[in-house]
Chains A and B, each alone.
Chain A
Amino acid sequence: MSEMTINLKIWRQKNTDDPGRFEDYKLGGVNEHMSFLEMLDVLNEDLIKKGDDPVEFDYDCREGICGSCNMVINGKAHGPKHKTAACQLHMRTYSDGDTIVIEPPRAAAFPVIRDLVVDRTAFDRIIEAGGYISVKTGAAPEANLIPVEQEVSNQAFDYATCIGCGACVAACPNSSASLFTGAKIAHLNRLPQGKPERARRTIAMVDQMEKEGFGDCSNYAECEAVCPVGISIASIAEMRREYMKAIF
């Protein structure tokens, strides 16, 4: 088992108002089987032992499901691998002596809370604007009451896999949230349960996306390249189609 020494250049920022700066760390004893986050855990153990503040980063499942771990590694959201969240990236991707630059997702709409942790509640507000369906509460309805074609259900599910990690925003040269918003609109508007509110939903979510300060889409498709679940920019085209249907 080979052990590596990795040079880290990590963005450190005490709070939202702190201008922030890069700190260099040399981390020895990095095992190739470690996940990227485990490597950061080892760094943090060292920092804590030395009495320094550990590097704050977001994570939850560490299984590539939740998307909390979105960070920008050597200029790429979630690191170099396609359809892979940062937590599923392993240190065997790197070689002994490599330098890795780690930055938070950078967008005015995602203010840094501390180090690599950003506030992604802008996404929650886009969902609040229309990313839901209105149903009567009470006993769960009979599952087969509303027929959904298999094809439609599959397409909706493809869009529903968006985990809201924000890698699309992080990687977009314009900091656009179009992939996220498009995926949510495409998911809900395709299903019969989502159809009654499709026009209002589309207008409200697009409106909220703009209010949050995300940039415009320039069809770079970088969002699709970094998306850990591979959401296609077809969702953005679908959002535009839905928007046109809503206003005419």
Chain B
Amino acid sequence: MPSLLEAFQSQVGRKILTGITGFLLVFFIIFHLAGNLAIFGEPDAMNSYSHFLHQLGPLLWLARIGLLLIFVIHAWIGISIWLKKRKARPVDYKVYSTKGGPSKQSLSSRSMAFTGVVLLVFVVFHINTFALGDMADTQLANGTVVHDIKTLVIDTFQNPFYAFGYTFVMILLGAHLGHGIWSAFTSLTLRSKKASAVIYSIGVIAAILLAVGFLFIPLYIYFGGGCEAALIQCN
């Protein structure tokens, strides 16, 4: 019998890890989107949410390290699968096409490695822009002084490079999740044909909703003019 460490390095173990980490990342981005949507709430909503997270202290660091680990495992396995496919088929087909029917080959599934790598690079830029970005201090209605992430977000997305760059990457996120959500269920041993068909549709819908949810914000800020926009109230 292999040890657990060996087992999770096997083809089957790797796939199960990809599924588990994929699910955790989906949960993370759902929370992330919920946090982002606070920009449309009360004037203080986004900054108080950010302040709340920072107050968690060691718990926040635990979450950050956990998230980084999950992200690295997911990306590492994904990239290694992609590198291995060339080794497994050194001479490629002259003509290759899907047979359709039950096949899940699509632009979404065939571009998982590409969209995944773009997301990987994006996350580095994204953390640099917002988590490590220069933030002024601001006062909440209750008098607490907090970092003004809301203004940083609004200022950043006045720049077309950021607004459209983010929009493009969020479309790729949708493409990644279009195959990814269903694939994670299958990796985590979903067998039923009927359930599989239903989950595939739910996965695609969830991918579209998440992508639209994320890309709506930069586009709205860019075209809506930030603080002057109807849905965003600033202090």
Interface residues of A (CB under 8 A from B): 9, 20, 22, 72, 74-77, 80, 82, 101, 103, 106-109, 171, 173-176, 178, 199, 203, 206-207, 209-210, 213-222, 224-226, 232-234, 236-241, 243-244, 246-247
Residues B99 and A108 in contact, CB atoms below 8 Å apart = no
Residues A221 and B15 in contact, CB atoms below 8 Å apart = no
Given contacts A203-B2, A221-B102, contact A76 B11 (CB under 8 A): no
CB within 8 Å of A: which of B71-94? 81, 84-85, 87-94
What residues of A have a CB within 8 angstroms of the CB of B190 in the complex? Answer: 237
* A-B pairs with beta carbons under 8 Å apart, 24 shown: A20-B91, A80-B99, A82-B101, A106-B92, A173-B110, A176-B11, A213-B87, A213-B88, A215-B85, A215-B88, A218-B81, A220-B110, A222-B98, A222-B99, A222-B103, A222-B104, A225-B98, A225-B101, A226-B99, A234-B191, A239-B12, A241-B191, A243-B13, A247-B2
Interface residues as binary, B188-222 with A (CB distance below 8 Å gives 1, 0 otherwise): 11111100100000000000000000000000000
What residues of A have a CB within 8 angstroms of the CB of B14 in the complex? Answer: 216
CB distance from A29 to the nearest CB of B (A): 25
Residues B81 and A216 in contact, CB atoms below 8 Å apart = yes
Q: B99's contact among A76, A106, A236, by CB below 8 Å, is which?
A: A76
Q: Give CA–CA (A238, B186) in the complex, Å.
A: 10
What residues of B have a CB within 8 angstroms of the CB of A103 in the complex? Answer: 93-95
Q: B102's contact among A108, A216, A224, by CB below 8 Å, is which?
A: A224
CB distance from A140 to the nearest CB of B (A): 33
Identify which of B11, B182, B187, B190 gathers the most chain A CB atoms within 10 Å of its CB.
B11
Q: B94's contact among A101, A107, A217, A247, by CB below 8 Å, is which?
A: A101
Q: Which 4 pairs of residues, A with B, have the shortest CB-CB distance?
A: A215-B88, A175-B88, A225-B103, A75-B95
Is B105 positioned at the interface, with any CB of A under 8 Å from its CB? yes
What residues of B have a CB within 8 angstroms of the CB of A237 in the complex? Answer: 186, 189-191
Known: A224-B102, A234-B196, A244-B16. 19 other contacts (CB 8 A): A72-B96, A76-B98, A77-B99, A103-B95, A108-B89, A109-B88, A209-B11, A215-B87, A216-B14, A216-B15, A219-B186, A220-B103, A221-B103, A221-B105, A233-B102, A234-B192, A243-B12, A247-B2, A247-B4
Residues A219 and B183 in contact, CB atoms below 8 Å apart = yes
CB distance from B5 to the nearest CB of A (A): 10
Is B34 positioned at the interface, with any CB of A under 8 Å from its CB? no
Q: Give CA–CA (A86, B48) in the complex, Å.
A: 65
Residues B93 and A206 in contact, CB atoms below 8 Å apart = no
CB distance from B80 to the nearest CB of A (A): 8
CB distance from B7 to the nearest CB of A (A): 4
Residue count of chain B within 8 Å CB distance of chain A: 48
What residues of B have a CB within 8 angstroms of the CB of A176 in the complex? Answer: 11, 88
Measured CB to CB, the nearest residue on chain A to B102 is A224
Is B153 positioned at the interface, with any CB of A under 8 Å from its CB? no
Q: Give CA–CA (A108, B88) in the complex, Å.
A: 5
Q: A106's contact among B10, B89, B98, B103, by CB below 8 Å, is which?
A: B89
Q: A74's contact among B97, B102, B105, by CB below 8 Å, is which?
A: B97
Residues B102 and A107 in contact, CB atoms below 8 Å apart = no
Measured CB to CB, the nearest residue on chain B to A167 is B99
Q: Give CA–CA (A244, B8) in the complex, Å.
A: 10
Q: Give CA–CA (A224, B103) in the complex, Å.
A: 7
Is B112 positioned at the interface, with any CB of A under 8 Å from its CB? yes
CB distance from B201 to the nearest CB of A (A): 15
CB distance from A70 to the nearest CB of B (A): 13
Residues A173 and B105 in contact, CB atoms below 8 Å apart = yes
Residues A215 and B84 in contact, CB atoms below 8 Å apart = yes
Is B57 positioned at the interface, with any CB of A under 8 Å from its CB? no
Measured CB to CB, the nearest residue on chain A to B9 is A210
Residues A234 and B99 in contact, CB atoms below 8 Å apart = no
Q: Give CA–CA (A158, B13) in the complex, Å.
A: 25
Measured CB to CB, the nearest residue on chain A to B109 is A220
CB distance from A239 to the nearest CB of B (A): 6
Residues B12 and A107 in contact, CB atoms below 8 Å apart = no
Given contacts A75-B96, A76-B99, A216-B11, contact A107 B104 (CB under 8 A): no
